[in-house]
A and B are shown apart, each in its own frame.
Chain A
Amino acid sequence: MLVLEKNALSDEIESFVNQYGNDRASLLQILQAIQRKHKYVSDFAQQEVARLLNIHPVEVYSVITFYSFLCTQPKGRNIVRLCRTISCDMAGKDAVEDAVKRELGISFGETTKDKRITLEYTNCLGMCDQGPAMLVNEKVYTHLDPETAVNILNEIK
C-alpha cells in the first residue's frame, strides 16, 4: 500500500473512531463502517483500529473472524448470500444453487473475474416460510426459483 493511501485510510478510520467513540465497545460499529466503505477490512486497517482503540490487533482480527459479514480479504462489489438452512434446503435451494453457479461460472466462496459478484452461503435469514431465500447485499429476495434468481443476478451492476 502506498504511504498516501495509508494516510488517507488512517484519517478515515480516525474519523470513524471520533464518530463512534474510542471505547472498545465501539469496535463493531467501526469495523462495520470500514466494511461498508471498502467491502473488507485490510490488515493495515485492523492495526490502525487497534492502535486507536488501544487494544491488540489480534483482538480486532478475532472479532472480524467471528462475524460472517466482516471480512479481511477484498471481495466482489456485490455479495450474494444464499440461505443453506433446512427450510430453504427443502424448498428447493439446490436448484437455485445450481442455476446461479452455472450462470456466473463460479462456485460458492468465489468471486467473478470482473469483481461484480461474490457468492456465499448464509444460515437462516428468518424467511423460512418463504424459502428459498437469498440476500443480495442488504436486500432479501424470497420465493426464489432458478429463473428468478438468475434474473436478479443479471440486474446487479
Chain B
Amino acid sequence: MVKRDIRIPVSQQPLVVDKPKDTSTIGGMVSIQINEKKVSVPFGTTILEACKQNQIHIPTLCHHPDLCIAGVCRICVVDVEGMRTLQTACSFPVTTPIRINTSTPMVRKARRHIIDLLLSEHYGECYSCFRNGNCELQALAKEYGVDGYTFGHTDKPGREVDKSSASVIRDMSKCVLCKRCVRTCIDLQEVGVLEAIDRGHETHIGTFLDKPLADVICINCGQCINRCPTAALRANDPSDEIWNAIDNPKKHVIIQTAPSPRAAIGEEFGVEPGHSFTGELNTALRRIGFDKVFDTNFTADLTIIEEGTELLNRLKKVIVDKDESVKLPQFTSCSPGWVKFIEHFYPEYLDYLSTAKSPQQMFGAIMKTFYAKEAGIDPADIVTVALMPCAAKKFECNRPEMTASGYKDIDYGLTTREMAKMIKEAGIHLPEMPKSHFDEPFGDASGAGLIFGATGGVMEAALRTVYELVTGREVPFDNLVIEPCRGFDGVKQASVKLEKCVEKFKFLEGVELKFVVAHGTANAKKVMEMLRRGELNDVHFVEIMACPGGCLGGGGQPIPTNIDIRKKRAEAIYEEEKSLPVRKSHENPHINYIYEKFLTEGPCGHLSHKLLHTHYTKRGKYIS
C-alpha cells in the first residue's frame, strides 16, 4: 500500500494507483502509446514517469521527487486522446491503454500561457537574482521561447521581503505558488511552518498569523530553500561581510570546512554529483584570501570525545550510582535544526540532549581562545567563518549563548552555494585547482569526523571510540565499517555487545549497547513518539540529523538535491574516508595535543564545560 497523504482531504487527493508487486500478472502491464511510440508500463505508473522512462521530456514545476504529488501548476499538461481537457502528466496514473500526445498545438499553447501568466506577476530581473542560471521558471521561459510578456509584467514587488530569520529569507514576490515549500515543511520535515494563506489573487505562502519567519516555529533547516524552483526562498548570505573582513588587513580570517560541502561543491561547477573537492577547495580558499583553512572534522573528533565521554558518564551514573535524574538515551546535539526542533516540540525532553556543542561551535570557541593564544593574535581581530551544508548553522552561530570565548565564537555560517559564488567571484574554477592540505596546528582529522556528513556517521564515529575505550579493542566490524549505521532508512536500530571490558568500565560488562539513528525531522518525530511511549527505555544513544540524508542533504547544499544525489554524495564521503590514515577520533594526534596543552582536565572537565558544552532553551510551540 502506498503511503497516502493524510494531510490532503480525500476528495482532493491526487489519484495514486498502487503498482502491482508482480507485473507479470494479467493486467500488470498496460500498453500505451506516447506520441508515435508504443510502450508498456506497469499499471499505475504516472504519465510523467512513463515519459521519463522513454526519454520523452515533460516540463514540471510543482513536481519534486522528494515530495508528494500536488498537481497545482498545470505546466505538465498533455493530451490524452478521448479526454475533453488536457491532463496533468505528474498526477495521471495509467490504468487503461491510452494514447498520449505530449506536443500538440493545444499543449504547447497551454504551457506557454501558464508561463506567461506566472511571469505577469513575477517581480524581479534574472540578472540580479541569486537563482540566475539555476532557476526552473527561467528555464521554462527559455524552453518555451518566451520573448515578451503576453499578459504584462509587474514592475513593483508584490510583497515585502521577510528578512527576519537568521537563516531563511523569503521574497514572496518571486513565488509561483507551487507549494513545494509547504509540502517540504509539513510532509518531509513535519515542522509545519508554511501554508497557502488567503484566496484567489491574494493567495500567498505565509506563516501562522502571517508572522515573520523568526517569530514562528521554523527550525531553520532550509529544506524549503532546496526545493523552491525560484528565488522566492534563499539563505541569509553573509558573503559581503566576509569579503570586507578578507579585504581588511587587520583581520585574521579563518575558515573551517565541513565534509558535506566538500562532497557537493563540485556540483556548483558542473561536475557530476559524487566527487569530493577537499584539496582543491583548500587551495581556492587560500587564493581568495582566507588566512587559515582548517578542517571542521578536527572538532568533529573533539565532539566525539566529549559526547562519548558524556555518554559513558551518563551510563555510569545510571548503572552504578542509580541516579534517576540522569536521562538515557542520550541524543546527539550537533544538528542545530534538530536542536531547535526539540526545543519547540519536545521541550520536556531537553535533558536527554547531549550538552556537547556542534563541531562548528566548538571550533569557534577553540579558535578564539587556544589558537589565538598559540598564534599570538588578539581574538578581537579573528574572524571565524564556517563553510557548512546548512542553513540552521547561521542561526546557531547567532545564538546568544554561543560566546564562550568572550567573543562571538563563530562570526559567519556560509553555505555551500554561497561559497561557490564567492569562488566564482574570485575568478576561480574549482575543479582545476591543485590540491593542498589544511593548515596546522589542526591540519589532520580522522575519518570518523569526516563521516559526520552522512546520516549515521556520528553514531559510527562515536561507536568506534566508545567501544574501544570500554573494551580496549576495535569495534567488531569489518574494516571499521559499522554497516547498520549506513544507508538511508528513516529510522535505523542496532546494537553491539560490550564484552571483556577494561578495568575502568567493568560496570558495562555484558551490556548490549543499543543505538538508534534517524534523519529528517519527520523521522525524529517518530523517534520522539517512541521515547514518549517508553519504547526506547533500553536504548543508550540516539543520533538525529534534521535534514534528510544527514548534512549531505542539508539546506545549504547545491540545488537540486534529491535521493540519487544524496546517495552519490554519501558515496563520495565514504570513499574519501577509506583513504585516511587515522579513522578513529581518539587516535587523532591533534586531539591528544589539545587535551595535553589546553583542556588539561580532560574530556567533560571544567574548561570543556565552559567552552565546548552548552545549554538549551525550552521554547515550546505556542505562539502568542
Q: Which residues of A are in contact with B by a Cβ distance under 8 Å?
A: 24-25, 43-44, 46-47, 55-59, 61-62, 65-67, 72
B623 lies within 8 A of A57 (CB): yes
Number of B residues, CB within 8 Å of A: 21
**Interface core residue of A25, A44, A65 (most chain B CB under 10 Å):** A65
B195 lies within 8 A of A62 (CB): yes
A56 lies within 8 A of B623 (CB): no
**Per-position binary interface string of chain B over residues 183-214, scored 1 when its CB falls under 8 Å from any chain A CB and 0 otherwise:** 00010000011111111000000111100000
B197 lies within 8 A of A59 (CB): no
4 nearest A-B residue pairs (beta carbon): A56-B192, A62-B195, A58-B208, A58-B195
Which positions 570-624 of chain B face chain A at CB distance < 8 Å?
A: 622-624
Which positions 355-397 of chain B face chain A at CB distance < 8 Å?
A: none
**Per-position binary interface string of chain B over residues 444-462, scored 1 when its CB falls under 8 Å from any chain A CB and 0 otherwise:** 0000000000000000000
Chain B residue contacts of A46, Cβ below 8 A: 208
B6 at the interface (CB under 8 A from A): yes
Bound state CA distance, A58 and B186, in angstroms? Answer: 10
Q: Which residues of B are in contact with A by a Cβ distance under 8 Å?
A: 6-7, 9-10, 186, 192-199, 206-209, 216, 622-624
Bound state CA distance, A4 and B195, in angstroms? Answer: 31
B186 lies within 8 A of A56 (CB): yes
A62 lies within 8 A of B9 (CB): no
Select one of A24, A57, A66, A67 contacting B208, CB under 8 A: A57
Chain B residue contacts of A25, Cβ below 8 A: 9-10
With contact pairs A43-B209, A56-B186, A57-B208 given, residues A62 and B196 touching in the complex (Cβ less than 8 Å): yes
Bound state CA distance, A66 and B198, in angstroms? Answer: 5
B9 lies within 8 A of A58 (CB): no
Main secondary structure of the interface of A (DSSP, over half): helix
- Pick 25 A–B contacts, CB within 8 A, sort by A: A24-B7, A24-B9, A43-B623, A44-B622, A46-B208, A47-B623, A56-B186, A56-B195, A56-B208, A57-B192, A57-B208, A57-B623, A58-B192, A58-B193, A58-B207, A58-B208, A59-B186, A59-B195, A61-B195, A62-B195, A65-B198, A65-B199, A66-B199, A67-B199, A72-B209
**Interface core residue of A25, A58, A65, A66 (most chain B CB under 10 Å):** A58
Bound state CA distance, A46 and B194, in angstroms? Answer: 15
B194 lies within 8 A of A58 (CB): yes
Chain A residue contacts of B199, Cβ below 8 A: 65-67
A59 lies within 8 A of B192 (CB): yes
Bound state CA distance, A46 and B216, in angstroms? Answer: 14
Bound state CA distance, A80 and B192, in angstroms? Answer: 35
Given contacts A56-B186, A56-B208, A58-B207, 19 further A-B contacts (CB under 8 A): A24-B7, A24-B9, A25-B10, A55-B7, A55-B192, A56-B193, A57-B192, A57-B208, A58-B193, A58-B194, A58-B216, A59-B7, A59-B192, A59-B195, A61-B197, A61-B208, A62-B197, A66-B198, A67-B199
